[in-house]
């Protein structure tokens, strides 16, 4: 099955590359993994081996190799003799027309880092055109980091083993699965096995520069901050308990005159992000921009990019039932843990940034990656 996946990947990559493009496949080359015979497998799909170099794990920050299978699933394994095989297209497979439309600058190079086993099956006819609009420029390079779990950033990802019919499209809208209750279990008929959760970003002025930064921890004099209306039952419960009732938890329904919302976030240790009418909140990204640790209060919220981002390393999750204990919970967090959380916020900040043109690992590429994961992790039956 693993070789079938790799064959399907190479077949798809073959259709995406232009002349001079490369496919990098990283794999162990000791027994029994050398029985895969990657060079022969690649040759059958239209590739020649250009170069074979030793794999350097530090070149892929946050990558964690994990085992597949049932017994030792999700456990790391020794990389040992691990190499990156660099393949180029055979001349017979090169595009006849070397002039590529600028709107179709999809791929210059595709990297795949494989674990010892791969648990997903990709439909061989799948192309990136199914994922990205022709007018969206993917950039000159896409990295696909895959093991039996896909982990290009910092955490072990959720398994995607359930079968989803190929006719079900990737969609974040609530109507997509409204009439098929077996396909969802969270709010708004959202099914994380087939739907991708995107961050809500409120660009109030349309500007994308100068949005990040805040005071250092020693100058953050406010324990926690929130300002917003009583939208939905979670917000109502939260405001009932904390609205203008504490000098350390500054909670307002209407921001007092002369108080700056962005400045308050930048000098607060924690920024409270309760769900409103919708489960998502733009405050989460606003908090990350302000280097303020998000405090998540929600129900059934599948956090954006949670396949790869370990939200526990840069946010605090508080259940709705613990709203009355919020201050006690925050004060109970040791200083060293708070500093680690804030450092985590700074580390993931780039994954929520909007860039024009998009930059590697920014929110655009994270969204594309989230969609791509769901196409890779869907078991398709013909």
| Mean of per-residue pLDDT scores for the chain | 75
Q: What are phi and psi of 270, to 5 degrees?
A: -125, 140
pLDDT of 245 reads 95
Sheet with strand 293-297: strands edge to edge: 249-252, 222-227, 268-274, 293-297, 316-317
Q: Are the C-beta atoms of 65 and 115 separated by less than 8 Å?
A: yes
How does residue 298 score in pLDDT terms, banded at 50, 70 and 90? very high
pLDDT of 278 reads 83
Pairing type for strands 109-113 and 293-297 reads unpaired
The predicted model gives 192-211 an average pLDDT of 86
Q: Among 347, 359, 345, 105, which residue's Cα sits nearest to residue 209? A: 359
Q: Are the C-beta atoms of 163 and 156 separated by less than 8 Å?
A: no
Q: According to the per-residue pLDDT averaged within each range, which of 71-75, 123-127, 224-228 is highest?
A: 224-228
The contacts of residue 62 (CB under 8 Å, 6+ apart) are: 151, 152, 153, 154, 308
| Distance set, CA 105 to CA 100, 109, 239, 280, 293 (Å) | 7, 11, 49, 32, 37
- DSSP single-letter state for residue 242: H
How does residue 156 score in pLDDT terms, banded at 50, 70 and 90? very low
pLDDT of 2 reads 73
The predicted model gives 238-247 an average pLDDT of 96
pLDDT of 104 reads 36
Q: Which helix (H) or strand (E) holds 88?
A: strand 82-89
What sign does the CA torsion over 235, 299, 204, 260 have? Answer: positive
d(CA 329, CA 248): 13
Q: According to the per-residue pLDDT averaged within each range, which of 130-134, 198-202, 298-302, 340-344 is highest?
A: 340-344
How does residue 77 score in pLDDT terms, banded at 50, 70 and 90? confident
How does residue 38 score in pLDDT terms, banded at 50, 70 and 90? confident
| Residue 36 Ramachandran class (φ > 0 left, ψ -120 to 50 alpha, else beta) | alpha
d(CA 244, CA 314): 27
Q: Are the C-beta atoms of 198 and 239 separated by less than 8 Å?
A: no
pLDDT of 136 reads 36
CATH numbers and ranges of domains, the chain: 2-152 (no CATH), 217-352 (3.40.50.2000)
How does residue 292 score in pLDDT terms, banded at 50, 70 and 90? very high
The predicted model gives 302-309 an average pLDDT of 90
Pairing type for strands 82-89 and 47-54 reads antiparallel
d(CA 32, CA 304): 37
Q: Among 341, 354, 373, which residue's Cα sits nearest to residue 150? A: 373
For residue 110, list its beta bridge partners. 23, 142
Per-residue pLDDT reduced to its tens digit, 309-325: 999 999 999 999 999 99
- DSSP single-letter state for residue 207: -
Residue 190 tokens read as: 């959202």
Q: With a threshold of 0.75, does the pTM exceed it?
A: no
d(CA 190, CA 177): 8
For residue 128, list its beta bridge partners. none
Residue with tokens 């059958």: 44
């Amino acid at each position: 099955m693993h070789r079938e996946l790799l064959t399907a990947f190479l077949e798809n990559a073959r259709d995406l590359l232009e002349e001079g493009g490369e496919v990098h496949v990283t794999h162990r080359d000791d027994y029994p993994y050398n029985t895969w015979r990657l060079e022969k497998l690649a040759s059958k799909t239209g590739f020649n081996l250009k170069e074979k170099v030793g794999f350097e794990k530090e070149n892929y920050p946050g990558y964690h190799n994990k085992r597949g299978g049932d017994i030792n699933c999700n456990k790391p394994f020794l990389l040992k003799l691990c190499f990156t095989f660099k393949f180029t297209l055979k001349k017979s497979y090169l595009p006849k027309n070397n002039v590529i439309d600028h709107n179709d600058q999809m791929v210059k190079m595709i990297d795949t880092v494989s674990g010892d086993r791969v648990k997903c099956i990709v439909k061989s006819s799948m192309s990136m055109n199914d994922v990205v609009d022709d007018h969206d420029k993917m950039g000159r390079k896409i990295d696909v980091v895959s093991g039996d779990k896909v982990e290009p950033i910092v955490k072990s990802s959720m398994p995607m083993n359930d079968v989803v019919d190929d006719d079900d499209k990737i969609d974040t809208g609530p109507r997509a699965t409204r009439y098929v209750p077996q396909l969802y279990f969270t709010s708004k008929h959202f099914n994380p096995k087939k739907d991708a959760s995107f961050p809500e970003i409120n660009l109030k002025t349309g500007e994308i520069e100068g949005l990040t930064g805040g005071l250092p921890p020693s100058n953050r004099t406010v324990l926690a901050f929130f300002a917003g209306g009583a939208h939905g039952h979670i917000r109502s419960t939260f405001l009932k308990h904390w609205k203008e009732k504490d000098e350390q938890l500054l909670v307002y329904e209407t921001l007092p005159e002369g108080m700056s919302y962005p400045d308050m976030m930048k000098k607060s240790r924690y920024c409270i992000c309760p769900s409103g009418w919708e489960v998502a909140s733009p405050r989460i990204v606003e908090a990350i921009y302000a280097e303020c640790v998000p405090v998540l209060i929600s129900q059934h919220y599948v956090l954006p990019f949670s396949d790869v981002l370990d939200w526990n390393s840069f946010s605090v999750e508080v259940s709705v039932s613990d709203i009355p204990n919020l201050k006690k919970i925050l004060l109970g967090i040791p200083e060293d843990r708070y500093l680690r959380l804030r450092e985590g916020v700074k580390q993931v900040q780039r994954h929520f940034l909007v860039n024009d043109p998009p930059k590697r690992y920014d929110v655009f590429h994270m969204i594309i990656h989230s969609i791509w994961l769901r196409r890779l992790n869907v078991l398709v039956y013909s």
